[in-house]
A = this chain, B = another copy of it.
Amino acid sequence: MPYTYEYPRPSVTVDCVIFGLQESTQLKVLLIQRAHEPFKDAWALPGGFVDMDEDLETAALRELEEETGVRDVFIEQLYSFGQPTRDPRGRVISIAYYALVNLAQHPVKAASDAKTVKWFDVNKLPPLAFDHNEIMEMAINRLQAKVRYQPIGFELLPEKFTLTQLQKLYETILGVEQPLNKRNFRTRILDMGVLKEVGRQEGVAHRPAKLYSFDKDKYEELAKSKYKDLIKRGVDFEI
């Protein structure tokens, strides 16, 4: 290898914060119970060391599947944590990823370094190994911020869904105490123009709801033109 440069090197790991939505009403997060020292028996985020020839994202997905059996998720980089004392084994830098999935579609099974795998309610987390509580907190903030301006979450519902299901989903992710106003939620969502009507409910003991699906093409298109608008408007402090 040309130009080789030798320094003592930190270890590099990846960690995954996988949020799971259960019945659109409960927000959970996937944790493993560690099988080995350090922090043996403590709960932790799934993750592990990056191999020398794989992408960071690939490493995260591999570790996630190895330890929990969960696969086929869209993860996104969250942040990198590098405090020198965060791992008792020595200098370990960790790149954290996060994702939001439909819990029902992702059965879990413990394996490799994990003793147990479990979905925990986001509001009832145990103390976690390493600095994983800090990572978790950042992930929750990021998820809630993201859900406000990007239609994530649509993939978590059945392909065809009602507006009430969608509203429940938002209320869950945002962790609101009061339900959102139905009228206004609907107006806003429909005015966005990214839902298309695809039928109606059947066999329910009340007025059947219209079913919608997410129109991805429309969304991409809108995202582009909206971007131009923003540029034109210039400033729009939201604080």
Contact = CB atoms under 8 A, between A and B. Distances in A.
Nearest to A148: B236
Nearest to A170: B235
A80 interface: yes
Contact of A12 (B52, B93, B151): B93
Contacts of A1: 88-90
A89 B3 contact: yes
Interface in A1-22: 1-5, 7-12
Please state the number of chain copies in the assembly.
2
A205 interface: no
A12 B182 CA distance: 50
Contacts of A74: none
A28 to B, nearest CB: 20
A125 interface: no
Interface of A: 1-5, 7-12, 37-38, 49-50, 52-56, 77, 79-80, 82-84, 88-91, 93, 95, 147-151, 170-171, 174, 176, 178, 180, 185, 188-189, 192, 219, 222-223, 226-227, 230-239
